[in-house]
Structure formats: C-alpha cells, structure tokens
Homo-oligomer: A and B are copies of this chain.
Amino acid sequence: MFTYTPPIDDYRFLLTHVLGFDEAMRDLGKDVDSDLAAAVLEEAGRMCADRLLPLNREGDEQGSRLTADGVVTPSGFAEAWRDFAAAGWAALSAEEEHGGQGLPFVLQLWLDEMMSATNLSFGLFPGLTRGACEAIAAHASEELKATWLRPLVSGEWTGAMALTESGAGTDLALLKTKAAPLGDGSYAVTGTKIFISSGDHDFGGNIVHLVLARLPDAPAGVKGISLFLVPKFLPDDAGGFTRRNGMSVGALEKKMGIHAQPTCVMNYDEAVGWLVGEPHRGLAAMFTMMNAERLMVGIQGLGIAGGAYQQAAAYAKDRLQGRSADGARSPVAIIEHADVRRMLLNVRAFVEGGRALAGWVALQLDRSRHHPDAAERAKADALVALLTPVVKAAFTDMGFEGAVQAQQVFGGHGYIREWGMEQYVRDARIAQIYEGTNGVQAMDLVGRKLGLGGGAVVDDFLAMIAADLDGAGGLVIAERTLGALALLRTATQALRGAEADRAGAAAVDYLRLFALVSLGWMWTRMAVAAGQDDSPLHRAKRDIAGFYARHVLPQAHGLADAIGAGEASVMALSADAF
C-alpha cells in the first residue's frame, strides 16, 4: 500500500550546497564527486523502494521463526539479501583493500536511512555485518582477516555481535561467558547471550559472531573481557566451511517490533573461536563495532521518521475531513488544518535537519580515516566521538516521536495494523534502547565526551557553530539558534567534570539541547544555501527553517532550566519511596 520516494533531491542539495562534498572528497584524495554520489544514492533508493519496502509489512506479520533447522526468515528476505549482496550494497563503504568499494561513509549512512525507512528488520543484517567487519579489520590478526573478512565484506556471509547476557546489559562487567584455550590458538567459548540480532538466518553462507567472553586468567570486571570470533560453520579440510560449530539458537525473542529480524538467544557450548585483539582488551575492540553501529542506529530513527512522514503527508493530502479555515469549503483535505501541518512539520524539520547533520558527521568520519594530515584525522575523529551519542540518542528519540506523530495524522486508522503506521512506531522504539540505551548515550556525552581534549573538542565545535550562525546574515533561524547556543554553552560549562549525580540528572536534557542546537545549525546552513532561489526545494528549506526556529527551538529554554536545576530534587526521594 505504501510507497517511498527516496530523497535524492535533498541528498543532492546537501552534497552540493551545504556539505561541500566535492571539496571534501578532493581533500581526501577520493575520486568521487557529487554526481557519482547522487547516482549511487539513486540506485540505492530504487533498491530500497522496489525490493525492501514490499517485504516490510508482510515481514512484520510473518516474523522470523525458529525451526529444527534454525531460523527461517519471512518470505523474500533470503532472496533479497542475496540480490543485495550481489549488487554490491553490502560492500559500499568498506575499504577497497578488504574487497569493499571504498565509497565515502556519507553514502553508507544515507543508504542506511533509506533501508531503515523501508525495512528496518532487513537493514540490521548489513548493519551488523559491517560492525563485525570494522572490528575484525581494526583488531584481528592478519591470519583471521585473511580468512574471515572478504566474505563478510561482500555479504556472502553475515555478522552478529554477541555482547549482552541476561544479567549483563549496560554493565558488561557482570558478564559470565567463558573462553578456554584449546592449545592450538583457538578457544572453546561457553555461555548464553541474549538479544542477538541477526544471530541466525536462512540466507545461506556463514554467520560470524563476535562474542565477548572471559579467559580463565581474566581479572574481574570490564578489564577481564576478551572478544572472540565464533563462526556458525568451521573450516573443513577441503577448504570449505561445512562443520557446524557448537552454537545454537536457544529461542527467538518475541518483541514489540522488528518482527522479521531474528533476535536470538544464543547458546555457545564449547564453540570454537579465535581471539580478536589482545586478551582482556575486548571492550576496546567492541567499541570499534559499537561506535559504527551507534551512528547507524541514530540513522534508523531518522529513516523511520522519514518513511512515516511520507505516508502521513500523502494521507493528509488525500483524507477529507472538516472545513477550510475560512469555513467556506467542506470537507477539505486535512493538510489544510494547521494542527496536521504542525505535526508533519515537526517530523520533517527533524528528518531534514538530521539528514544534514548525519551527512556532516559522516564526512568527519571519512576525514578521520583518510585525511592525509594526522592532526586533521585526530580532530575529525574527536568530532565523530563527540557527536556519536548525540546522533544515536537524539535521532532515535526524535525518530520515535516522529513516527508517533505521523501515526497520529491517520487518526483511528493509525492504530490498525493493515495501515502500517503502527509498525513504524513499534519498530522505531527499539532504536532508543539497543546499542546502549539513550540514557547511556547521554551519560557518555556528558561524562566522557565533554572532557575530550580537556574540553577543547566541544568548545571548538560550538565555536564553529557560532561562526556559521554569525555569518548567516541575520536569518531568524540563525538568531534563534544563537540564543539556544548560548544556553548550551552555559550548560556545557556547568556539566563539564560534574559529579555522577549532577551529570546523570541533567544528561538526557543536555543531549537534547545539544541536538536542538546542532539541528538549528544545519537548518541555518540549509537556509543560507537556499538563498532567495524560488525553486520548490529551496522555498521549502526556508519555510521549514522558519518553523524550526519558531516552533521547535523554543524547547531549548525549558531544557536549560531543567539542567540548571541540578540533581537535588532528583536525588531527594529515598529509594524505597519509589
């Protein structure tokens, strides 16, 4: 029933007018320009709209099932995966030395956006595979890389991350899975993991799990955790991968959403695995995966809100109810009603602002890896570190809220499964939780990231925003964002080095304020780029920038006040009085 129009015009606008893509690529010595990038995105968009979207509703109804032979995914998923990999989409942004296409990360994030908009359950397969590739590329021995990396990069095989246990989620210090050396350089991994996305499937090919476990001599706590590569199929003597390893799916989690995605309880029973990275340094390797995943998860929120927006906007132009504002015509399309527009504009202001910010962060990620100057690489890397929790948490919170508002546009039909809007809401909800809950992201921002470079990283970032805003020629969006930026700077000063309760009481509000300012900055850049040009896209940018300035940014005041209120009234109530 639904259609999806890939936002290619917006991508093109951002690449050429807002993000300086061509210049950025030249800096990095990459032979990619915005025409090529737009062509790749156009092709990716077609794949998402034509192949992934048609599987989404039915995938939700069927769900993945656990059989004696393992997981069976919904109709069409396995074939879609094979076509996806064969067309090279799995390898889009991987390094060429590992068999990837080496395309810039901004294309990857926007591909992720379109996959999330059309089929989040599907999008998790390549997402987790990419995370596994990142960890292996960064931390595994050359020998492991030689065997495992290329088939993962190509999508012949898939990856999974096995971190969480029932007693150890946010706090990995508590994890219990064991790894015993087998004497030949391999290890026997034993334990049970939960919430393992893409833990098994019926796509064919191997499934490579990266499993956190403790070595026998491991110190207690997070400093005793190591990372192991544990495949579903072990190498056989003929050079194939046919020997089943000692791992099995204990159950599929029954979830609120992403039903098509097989979220597994995994049992590892003396499963053979190999150490990735140093003993007891598994957390560092894990964070290589996690950081890439966290950006991707943020984009999931963005993608879902964008998909939901498109359906809601189409419905609002079609659905007839009520009178025109002057009372003269009845019934009218509900897009005429101010409150319906307000809801749609809220979602769209987030989606387009977030799309721009995601693109900017993605370009920093490319700089952090490919810029010829080490100092520039380090600077970009710090900016990515600073913005990763913001993108993850704010985009998924706003993405969920956006899906809820888009659902609301449908009235009662929004609550009915066959209309599909409630699936967006159920699917979007997970992104606020996994890869570190949004509360954990906020604590990461306040507790770790504000201190990067002794505070210089955030200060420089905010100074850069201020410079852009000052140069915006007095646009309303720039003026209002400057006001919010002043509040953010005060809050940043107040929270830098704050004690745990002070930081914890304010962290979520602070992250939201940070995101509001960052999106205001992007809307300013977009409004400046739109100039006085009269094309529909440029006019829309100016109009939505005005809406964002007047109807969204005012939230900054309340957030700043709540941050300023400190922790006393949060900590006052005794624990047993809750």
Q: B-contacting residues of A (Cβ < 8 Å)?
A: 164, 167, 169-171, 173-174, 194-195, 221, 253-257, 313, 316-317, 320-323, 325-327, 330-331, 333, 335-345, 348, 400, 404, 407-408, 411-412, 414-418, 422, 425-426, 429-430, 432-434, 437-439, 442-443, 499-505, 507-508, 536, 539-540, 543-544, 546-547, 549-552, 554-562, 565-578
Contact = CB atoms under 8 A, between A and B. Distances in A.
B173 A330 contact: yes
A437 B416 contact: no
A429 B254 CA distance: 20
Given A411-B437, A561-B554, A339 B508 contact: yes
Given A339-B505, A577-B540, A439 B408 contact: yes
Given A338-B500, A408-B437, A416 B254 contact: yes
Given A543-B569, A557-B558, A572-B546, A338 B504 contact: yes
B412 A434 contact: yes
9 contacts: A171-B320, A171-B331, A317-B576, A326-B500, A338-B501, A338-B570, A546-B572, A555-B558, A556-B558
Contact of A578 (B317, B443, B499): B317
Contacts of A339: 439, 442-443, 504-505, 507-508
A58 B519 CA distance: 43
Nearest to A400: B404
A422 B256 contact: yes
A530 to B, nearest CB: 13
A504 B336 CA distance: 10
A536 B575 CA distance: 11
A569 B557 contact: no
B577 A321 contact: no
B570 A501 contact: no
B169 A316 contact: no
Contacts of A422: 255-256, 426, 429
Count of chain copies: 2
Nearest to A348: B578
B573 A562 contact: no
B578 A551 contact: no
Nearest to A443: B339
B429 A570 contact: no
Contacts of A443: 339
A575 B336 contact: yes
A236 to B, nearest CB: 36
Contacts of A505: 338-339, 341-342
B499 A325 contact: yes
Given A339-B439, A557-B558, A562-B551, A417 B255 contact: yes
The 10 A-B pairs with the shortest beta carbon distances in the complex, nearest first, are A338-B504, A554-B561, A550-B565, A256-B422, A171-B321, A325-B500, A554-B558, A557-B557, A546-B569, A338-B505
Given A173-B331, A339-B505, 5 more contacts: A336-B575, A408-B439, A412-B434, A414-B433, A551-B562
Given A508-B339, A539-B577, A412 B164 contact: yes
A342 B558 contact: no
B417 A256 contact: yes
B412 A578 contact: no
A313 B575 CA distance: 9
Nearest to A504: B338
A578 B344 contact: yes
Nearest to A502: B338
A23 B561 CA distance: 40
A335 B578 contact: yes
A547 B326 CA distance: 44
Contacts of A439: 337, 339-340, 343, 408
Contact of A416 (B255, B327, B578): B255
B325 A501 contact: yes
Given A339-B505, A501-B338, A415 B256 contact: yes
Given A342-B505, A439-B340, A417 B254 contact: yes
A411 B569 contact: no
A140 to B, nearest CB: 27
A570 B554 contact: no
